[in-house]
Amino acid sequence: MRHLHVQCKVLRKASIRLKPTLGLYQRRYSTKAAGMHYGPGIKVDIQPHEAPSPTEDYYYYFTGEEYTRRRNATLPQLSHIYPPAEGGRTGPPITLEITDAIRTGPAYTSQLVKAKVPAVAGAQQSIVAKFYDPLLADDPAEPEKNTFWLADHEYALEVAAYGKLGSLYGTLVPKFYGAYTCMLPTGLGSGTRAIRLILLEFVEGIALTAFGEDVSSTLSQKARKNVMYKIVDADSRAYALGVNHRDVAPRNIILEVAPSHYPSPAINNSDSNSSLADNALRLRLLDFGVARIAPFEDNLPVRFGGQWEKAVSPILRWHVDHGLQEPFVEAGWVDWEWQSWVEECWGNSTVYEPITEDAVSAWVSPGGTGVFA
């Protein structure tokens, strides 16, 4: 069993000789790194980390001299030039052991693994470790993409989002066990590089994408409506706490159902329909890497902007004109008239702000301020 034991210290920018590189090398390196650093049995020392606050700065693409440098340097070399944003360390190192891969490999903005971290208080036997590794996020087909900024950005956003969603832990979002940093080999001799990560609850369940494109034939409309109600409710509750997810889609939803109720080739599978139509059904909303954290916009009509006392109703936020339902329409989950259903579900709700002319004007009317950014 291999043990990546390294000291946790921040890498500073270094002056190095840049060498030409090829996309083929980058792909070889990424494939090797995925197996070497994130495979079962790997142990790595991680240290609690205070993530920097998210910023509105946008550096998704390298430009000018940075792009030239990107083209002429290997990814490991670039990891020295662009270390993660500083943050701060808040505790002693602890050991994480990877037990299984969930989603690892090249071109992913983060590496997801199952792991055991006995020293983390409250963590169950298996948890999810999400590593924001810019080297593996690299895509040779899009060399101008600044994966170093992207890793920093998504890490800061997710830590900030989970920081606001504490009341939803274990019910509508996974439990959050904190932010961490570690050091992994660069691939340049004995050099190391800093990598940020978060630890989350491992949810035993199934993603909506597993139901395939023929979900309307496999699941009853009653079951699908119940799932969509839970999704809109989860997103609305997160928004009320100051987190605008902005990427609510089947790939980011896990249903907490027993393995015996997973979808099967059988049409109208009775177990799946019964389980998913149950009001007690639970799900988790995942991946806050593109979220917006309150205050969203100075003129956005939500309670934390100081204009209204309650959060905006799903009738307005999930209004058909905003198109938030479209990923679920395209995936076959929604085949009914959307707006009338939303109004039927939340028309009498006292949880959200009443539907007034001002609210409709702000959120739905052309030129209204309640638009999504």
pLDDT tens-digit readout, 225-251 = 999 999 999 999 999 888 999 999 999
| Per-residue pLDDT at 139 | 75
pLDDT at 33 over 50: no
Contact criterion met (CB below 8 Å) for 39 and 156: no
Find the range with the poorest average confidence among 37-51, 70-84, 272-286.
70-84
Average pLDDT over residues 325-345: 96
Residue whose C-alpha is closest to residue 322's, from 279, 350, 287, 362: 362
**What is the rounded distance in angstroms from the CA atom of residue 238 to the CA atom of residue 232?**
10
> How much is the average pLDDT of 273-299?
82
Give the pLDDT confidence score for residue 198 in this predicted structure.
Answer: 98
Q: Rounded to whole angstroms, how far apart are CA atoms 138 and 71?
A: 12
Average pLDDT over residues 262-278: 61
Which residues on neighbouring strands pair with residue 184, listed in sequence order?
Answer: 193
* Cβ atoms of 104 and 111 closer than 8 Å: yes
Residues 318, 335, 220: CA angle, nearest 5 degrees: 115
Please say if the pLDDT value at position 303 is more than 80. Answer: no
Pairwise CA distance, residues 267 & 62, whole Å: 49
The C-alpha atoms of residue 179 and residue 163 are separated, in whole angstroms, by 10
In this prediction, residue 10 carries a pLDDT of 30
Q: Looking at residue 305, what DSSP letter applies?
A: G
CA-to-CA dists, residue 151 to 197, 335, 360, angstroms? 10, 37, 37
User: Is the preceding omega at residue 295 within 30 degrees of 0, hence cis?
Assistant: yes
pLDDT given at position 156: 96
Phi-psi category of 236—alpha, beta or left, where left has phi over 0 and alpha has psi -120 to 50? alpha
Between 169 and 298, whose confidence is greater?
A: 169
Residue 16 pLDDT class (50, 70, 90 cuts): very low
Give the pLDDT of residue 306: 44
Which pLDDT does position 354 carry in this prediction? 85
CA distance 209 to 226: 16
Q: How many CB atoms lie within 10 A of CB 341?
A: 18
SS3 6: coil
66: CB partners within 8 A, 6+ apart = 146
For residue 341, give the H/E element and its range: helix 338-346
- Among the listed ranges 14-18, 107-111, 173-177, 302-306, which one has the minimum average pLDDT value? 14-18
pLDDT band at 259 (very low <50, low <70, confident <90, very high): low
DSSP 200: E
- Read off the DSSP letter of residue 309: S
Mean pLDDT of 117-144: 83
Q: What is the mean pLDDT of the chain?
A: 80
pLDDT at 78: 82
